[in-house]
Structure 1
């Protein structure tokens, strides 16, 4: 028995050693004060493309004093615009893509019960893509594994307490009546985060042990999360939810709170099969929720192929099967497997946060272009839900 206890105690030792290593990696990757920084700058050509205007219009606004010129380096060359400066430029030049006051904020759940499909990677890259485009974004980490929280620069073990997660709002004995307490600023001026940590899982235990009135307690929690998110969403254009990769109470609450569903899946046969099972289970669960009087309504449901290697014949074959099976529900542009994404993740970053390529410039450019195109598909779905398409670029209008 003592040998068994010794072996079991190793699990705690391994967890402790792992947490200490994560903290070492975090301190090495981030600034001296252990908080992540954002040092990305864009040149005038890229800024003009993002704002949908000409470089000449930006220069004119700088010349007449409406916009400050970007700072110059020691060699006198312009350093480019920071994300804060880009947001200011959008306001001055009337180039904000923000929703109209009557448009319903997009609340997108990124969900699949199969682990390893890149759920948190898709969540963080989607958030940063929307941020670069000028949208106001809230990311809600609902997964007690807290991978998304880690990618945003917080160590869920050392930096986040249970009272800073969804727990005080969703627990059996809540101490918070809205979600404002949990919102944290991130290095991105237009992205906020509600973080998670392992203790959020206590909600699952509590609700499972809620007794004879368990069903009514669950229904109340489902409605409460949706109400809280809708209240918070008034200050954002897009809310992105990262739920646990399992069919638990929190996942069900997230599925009911969302108004759009994005399902990432890798191009392998096991991922395809498990995703089919996930969709089948979702269909049954949603029917039961509706029968219980809990509304579920999505403006769109889409699948996106992640970690796709176009040079792998098996990936090509499985993707063809996906296209034949899911039709237009499968987004046409997959997220390509890229060393640049892996290298960024090692630094607890997304590709959108890299100041310069980690690999070759060609690899970085290809990866960034693919991410822009893949994430842009989701932006178009969001804008279509608002009754609008992508903002027209000045040059396109002139040439048309």
Structure 2
């Protein structure tokens, strides 16, 4: 028996080495993730909501630096840094007003395999492309989100860089600013995670056995720490563990919005119903303990949806009948482009060229933009900013 237990350790070590090997292959030559994606002038104008002529005029009069041409004289496209500068110069920043409350969105479901971390990371990069300031907080000791941002949780992240020094029973940090890491995206920061963050669960569970005061303090502490940090951002995305533990409860109370991903299968639907029931009970218990839980919006989003699978269509119809408008109307489609990007520890928004066919890439990115835009609209509505009306709505009315 002991030899089999030892084999578990051997497999874990071999797996960690392979993750590092994959990371080095993906991010050569510096073994650091870099952002190579570029945007043509037409796509840049669309993102900024202006004409290409306005960009060209700003380049001609010196307000904007034109992109340096390549060796063959072609325009190479604009980087994210260039787009952010354009937004400032042309007054096209979507940033919240100073008195608007930052959106702190928990992406939560207790069912594993629903794409929680994938949704979180793609949502972060979507908001980044749109020009928002984003903070991602990986609260899950499995650290999938941390990995997708190009860090190896085992080799690159120490416990002192996670939430642990702030949430532990004997904290060594009194705010969360110490944990913020830069990412390849100039307007996206990350608080990473690794396996050692799970020690918080043990410590708080043991302390909770002697009474709920310690737990209640930690719940309020995470909310307070995130509130201090959030003043520097427009959007904060929380990726909690897929289980009802102390960290998940703290996240649940710290967030002001909730996004629940679920796949279009019967087990996922049933599990999500159980998750919602547990959330209701826990929210009531927290309220009784004097711990406020308030969300500007709660929405479910169907992930990994295969439009060619009749069973997926049937389950999605059941979701629509059950959850009504709480289910976002546009689902995230299952796509090989998402899987291929994840193999490279990337999102679709980081790909500077398609991995599969150009048609597949375009269909996938268009779908992701539509699904993520639904969440952006909810955030802006909470700030009192309405989404622009479509031409059809202007003509026919909403």
TM-score, normalised to structure 1's length?
0.97
Corresponding residue for 2:31? Answer: 34
Measured in 2, the distance between the counterparts of 1:379 and 1:31 equals: 34
The answer to whether the aligner puts 1:215 opposite 2:191 as a matched pair is: no
Q: Deviation of residue 209 (structure 1)?
A: 1.2
Matched, 1:186 2:183: yes
User: Match of 1:276?
Assistant: 273
TM-score by length of 2: 0.97
Kept after mapping to 2: 8 A contact 1:52/1:391: no
Distance 1:71 1:30 in 2: 24
Asked if the contact 1:108/1:262 (under 8 Å) is kept, the reply is yes
How many Å apart are 1:68 and its aligned residue?
0.5
Q: 1:308 is matched with which residue?
A: 305
- CA drift of 1:213 comes to 4.0
Q: Which residue of 1 aligns with 2:230?
A: 233
Contact 2:208 2:215 in 1 (8 A): no
How far off is 1:211 after superposition?
5.8
What's the secondary structure of 1:90's corresponding residue? helix
Distance 1:373 1:69 in 2: 30
Alpha-carbon deviation of 1:392? 7.8
Paired with 1:214 and 1:247, the residues of 2 have a C-alpha distance of 18
C-alpha distance in structure 1 between counterparts of 2:338 and 2:23, whole Å: 17
Aligned to 2:109: 112
How far, CA to CA, are the matches of 2:31 and 2:217 in structure 1? Answer: 39
Q: 4+ residue runs of structure 1 moved beyond 6 angstroms?
A: none
Alignment size in residue pairs = 394
- Cα RMSD between the aligned structures? 1.5
Whether the aligned pair in 2 keeps the contact of 1:31 and 1:37 (CA below 8 Å) is no
1-structure distance, mates of 2:298, 2:28: 39
Aligned: 1:387 with 2:384: yes
Partners of 2:167 and 2:26 in 1: how far apart? Answer: 33
How many Å separate the matches in 1 of 2:369 and 2:340?
A: 18
Question: In the alignment, which residue of structure 2 is the partner of 1:140?
Answer: 137
The CA deviation at 1:212 is: 5.4
Decide whether the 8 Å contact of 1:52 with 1:392 is kept in 2: no
Partner of 2:328: 331
Aligned-pair CA distance for 1:34: 1.6
Q: Is the CA contact 1:243–1:251 (under 8 Å) kept in the aligned structure 2?
A: yes
Alpha-carbon deviations, 1:286-308, whole Å to 9, x = none? 00000000000000000000000
Secondary structure, counterpart of 1:56 in structure 2 = helix
Gaps of 5+ in 2: none
Local SS of the residue matching 2:236: strand
| Structure 1: stretches of 5+ with no match in the other structure | none
